[in-house]
Structure 1
């Protein structure tokens, strides 16, 4: 039952968003729920992780480093390019770039599993980018929009620590010290997180119902382009560096899927309600695009592709050596 609810998250998000769009008066007054609900999501993420998942970093430092660098370069740059091409107004530009400067989202772990990627690697990438967010997100936001919009870097840093880092660390501590008790209820947390993000999206849609009538199609286009550039960029860079198909899929998903809930919370707190709109739309879209991509990739096993790629390396070396000889 809970798994079905979580897997149908995009559907619930679309339904509740449609209701919020038609009846904004029931959702708009509840902006105060956004930050507490996001903290709840982060707490759930911490509880479902384990200390062992972080130890994976020591085993694969180069891939973790690459994935983290890609997350904090490809997505901010893509956001900036999309804003330039579409000539977005200041509030929407702020929202798109803020979204691009956020860490990875937990939904990427589920999509990675469905796409036959490396789930352990995905979890570590999400965790590392989240832990670095308290510095990376405020700094990169300032770099890309500081000349256009006033950015409260210190205020954002404090917000990310309070809303993300503290709940995740608390969740990890609970998972570590109460492992047996948590194990029995661990499956509940993804469903709670899904419900919380659906409510957050509905509140933002309700708050921006009037703005959506004017610029909804433009925001959707910006979100689709941003997400697509992230997914494609992550995959192509990984393949260009000769990583395996499994790693390439994992890095593509980890790069293209954002913690959109964090961008919504930061936008509401430090910018405007309009700036929160790209994050809300992204929450729905990246799950739909991720599910589609996972469905496509799940039909293509990675083991055969990886074996083929490995076998081609010595074969190519043999060809080149004959030519040289």
Structure 2
């Protein structure tokens, strides 16, 4: 029953999203639940991981370098191409390009978990891209639109530590010290994660319902194209380089999903309110597209020939 619920979570995401858009007043006030829910999901991930998972990832620095490089080359370039193709006005162009220059979002870790990807690699990639964002994001934004954007690197690092690192380490500790006791309930975590991300998506949609009405189809199209280019390029390049299926899924998700919350905050501070619209819409879209992608991959078996180097994840979604 739990596996059935988890496999259908993209459907639940769409249904609850429709309700949230129609009745935003029931969801928008609960914006403060997003961070605790993400932390809960990260705790669940930590419980299903072992220390060996992270040690195995750190033994593959080339994959981490590749993922980070694609994050800060493919996505800014894709944003610029989309802006040129759609001839977006200056404000919206600034918003889309700023979005493309941001690091990977923590939601990518959740999607990777549900998609049977390499969660440890996903967390490492998110952390690395975030840590270098204070240099990469302003420089790339200036490179593409000629302006320098200040990034609160301290605040970003604190957020990553609080939302990702602390819960995952706590989960790892629980798994390490109490593995025998939690074995019976470990399979509950994928279902809990699916339910939590559906609620998070609904809260985001409820919070941004007015922005959705004002944005128009042009911005939505730009967001869809940008996200699709990132997902497809990340997966395609990984497979072309003969990486494993789990690594290819992880790179696709990491490259395609941006820290849209950061882009919204920077756009409002350094540009205009209109420049924040692409990030606000992307925060909804990439969760929905990621949900569909994870739902598809969760039902697809992972066949990797090199089993010895793959981090082991004890929780599965079938």
TM-score after normalising by structure 2: 0.74
Judged with a 3 Å threshold, the aligned counterparts in structure 2 of structure 1 residues 67 and 269 are, in CA distance, closer, same or farther, namely: closer
Which residue, 285, 293, 306 being the options, matches 1:281?
Answer: 285
Bigger Rg, which one: 1
3-state SS, counterpart of residue 201 of structure 2: helix
The Cα RMSD (Å) is: 3.5
Q: CA deviation at 1:284?
A: 0.7
Partner of 2:24: 24
Matches within 5 A, 1:75-224: 75-79=75-79, 81-83=81-83, 85-86=85-86, 87=88, 89=92, 92-93=95-96, 96-97=99-100, 101-102=104-105, 104-111=108-115, 113=116, 122-145=118-141, 147=147, 149-215=149-215, 217-224=217-224
Shift of the alpha carbon at 1:127? 3.2
Q: Describe the shift of the 1:136–1:54 C-alpha distance in structure 2 as closer, same or farther (beyond 3 A).
A: same
Give structure 1 stretches of 5+ with no counterpart.
Answer: 114-118, 304-325
Say whether the 8 Å CA contact 2:47–2:175 is kept in structure 1.
yes
The Cα offsets for residues 43-87 of structure 1, whole Å up to 9 and x where unpaired, read as 222111111212323665544543454345434543454455443
Superposed CA deviations along residues 213-234 of structure 1, whole A, max 9, x for unmatched, are 2225345423432332223322
Structure with the bigger RCO (C-alpha within 8 Å, sep 6+) is: 2
1:235, distance to aligned residue in structure 2 (A): 3.6
| Range with greater deviation from structure 2 (257-266 or 142-151) | 257-266
Matched positions, count: 289
**1:169 to 1:162, Cα distance in 2 relative to 1, 3 A:** same
TM-score scaled by length of structure 1? 0.73
Counterpart-to-counterpart distance in 2, 1:204 and 1:239: 33
Unaligned runs of 5+ in 2: 269-275, 306-318
Instruction: Report deviation, 1:240.
Output: 4.3
